[in-house]
Amino acid sequence: MSDRPDLPVRVPLGTKPLGVLKSLKAARSNVLAIIPELATRQPMVSGKTGIRWHMVMDPGALRRILLERLDDYPKSDVTKNLLRPAIGDSLFVAEGAHWRWQRRAAAPVFTHRNMMNLAPVMTSAAERACDRIAGQPGRAFDFLEEMVTTTFDVISDVTFSGDSAFDRDGVHKAIDAYISEAAKVSLFDMLGFPDWVPRPGRVMSGGAVKAMKRVADKAVDDRAARGPSTPPDLLDLLLAGEDKETGRKMTTSELRDNLLTFIVAGHETTALTLAWSLYLMAYDQDSQDKARDEAQAVLRGAATTAQDVESLPYIRHVIDEALRLYPPAALVSRTALAEDQLCDRQIKPGDTVMLPIYALHRHKLLWDDPDAFRPERWEGEKPDRYSYLPFGDGPRICIGASFALQEAVIILATLISRFRFRPVAGRSPNPVMILTLRPEGGVWLTAEPV
């Protein structure tokens, strides 16, 4: 939590070194607790906790990892151990040639034209959220839960076109159960044990994961047999996708794994961005007023459409600032495959190289007053590209970034144009990361029509 009342909530970063067991305990309750406060003041921090590790906050070194020597820094073994049981070798986990052909096959799905065609689903979901909130004026809502509902509405409709045969709730619950239990960092992960050593939590959650995959497999097969929707949805676009270099198309299991990846990433991260944005708007009423004035001038009582997004720069600045202060993927890691030098330090094959995005976005050498909420900082000259990485960068930049940003602007502008949000006393969220940076305890706000 924040130790200054004039700052929004933040993670208390460590000031003392942690051993293996203390690191494990910290990581299982909040992964960000392993980041030392020193990481906000230095370009790189290194150590050894069973394995050699390095935390990198220098933009030049991050460019080297994510762009210049991408193949030498694949996703870490810990990341793959956490995610592969649920999403297989999908785009998020795959490496090398297997990743490249999937990326080429999936890239056309996320063209600007397709995103514009999917935008009415986002507008409708924003309208339904407003109806739910307006039905209970002045009541305190957990807006994390509300935004999860809203963004899951979006991803369900753009994926399955309202197909009631798909068990959306079952898949959603299975994913949440996996994240909350099996995806927590294991002692075996901290000590660098190989992939084939069973992790107890993941063994116990195997039944739910298998059931979730069976449901998704059936949805893919049913759609392939039935034919595409009009207009085509995300599943149709994936079914039609192929690697232009090889002509290869995804199998049912490959489609299923990527579909589950998009379902998780397509609602979880956007819901978090919206929940944190609303928290910050409630925290700073002046910024909220400025955002509302912009939204009301553009929308004139209507819900936001894709055509409005470019006319809402301040709303976008609020979202950019929320992604800076509370990036959903707040710490990612890579495993070095080759010798290298980063910030004049030697990197050896097998070293874990962590990218603590949370510390990067609050780095005292890269940002002015880094813990403060200032949407205006995004006006004019933009920061160094590799000092702001909410979606990663390089060839593996998040394929759905434009989808997520369009959705966030549409929903946030619609909400802020119709309601005034205020915090609920004594219910401040606590930033906690397991796989994503969530507001533990929820984002409790009241919403009054304006």
Tokens 């502008």 found at: 413
Superfamily of domain 23-449: Cytochrome P450 (1.10.630.10)
- Counting DSSP H helices and E strands in the chain, the numbers are 16, 11
Domain segments of the chain: what residues?
Answer: 23-449
What percent of the chain clears pLDDT 90, i.e. is strictly above it?
Answer: 62
Beta strands per DSSP E along 121-185: 140-142
Which residue ranges are tagged as binding site for heme? 398
For the sheet containing 140-142, what is the strand order? 140-142, 444-449, 419-423
* pLDDT the model gives residue 218: 82
Residue pLDDT, tens place only, 318-376? 999 999 999 999 999 899 999 999 999 999 999 989 999 999 999 999 999 999 999 99
Do the Cβ atoms of 371 and 5 come closer than 8 Å? no
CA geometry: angle at 429 spanning 189 and 443, to 5°? 115
* pLDDT the model gives residue 1: 47
Do the Cβ atoms of 415 and 126 come closer than 8 Å? yes
In degrees to the nearest 10, what's the CA dihedral of 373, 432, 185, 354? 10
**447 SS3 class:** strand
Tell me whether strands 419-423 and 352-355 are parallel, antiparallel or unpaired.
unpaired
Do the Cβ atoms of 180 and 434 come closer than 8 Å? yes
Q: What's the pLDDT band for 387 if we cut at 50, 70, 90?
A: very high
Residue pLDDT, tens place only, 158-176? 887 756 656 667 766 776 6
* pLDDT the model gives residue 157: 86
Q: Which residues of 359-386 are buried (b: 16+ CB within 10 A; e: fewer)?
A: bbbbbeebbeebbbbbbebbeeeeeeeb
- Across-strand partners of 347? 340
pTM for the full predicted model: 0.91
* Lowest mean pLDDT, pick from 1-5, 115-119, 295-299, 313-317: 1-5
Please give the structure tokens belonging to residue 74.
Answer: 């694949």
Q: How many Cβ atoms from other residues are within 10 Å of residue 188's Cβ?
A: 17
**Cα–Cα distance for residue pair 16/403, rounded to 1 Å:** 40
Do the Cβ atoms of 280 and 318 come closer than 8 Å? yes
Please give the structure tokens belonging to residue 4.
Answer: 């200054």
Do the Cβ atoms of 44 and 61 come closer than 8 Å? yes
Residue pLDDT, tens place only, 179-213? 665 555 544 454 455 555 555 455 445 666 777 78
Which residue ranges are tagged as binding site? 398
Q: Cα dist. 58→13, 34, 62, 222 in Å?
A: 18, 18, 6, 48
**Cα–Cα distance for residue pair 55/330, rounded to 1 Å:** 13
Mean per-residue pLDDT for 46-70?
93
Do the Cβ atoms of 40 and 362 come closer than 8 Å? yes
| Cβ-Cβ contacts under 8 Å for 91 (sequence gap 6 or more) | 99, 102, 103, 106, 258, 261, 399
* pLDDT the model gives residue 191: 45
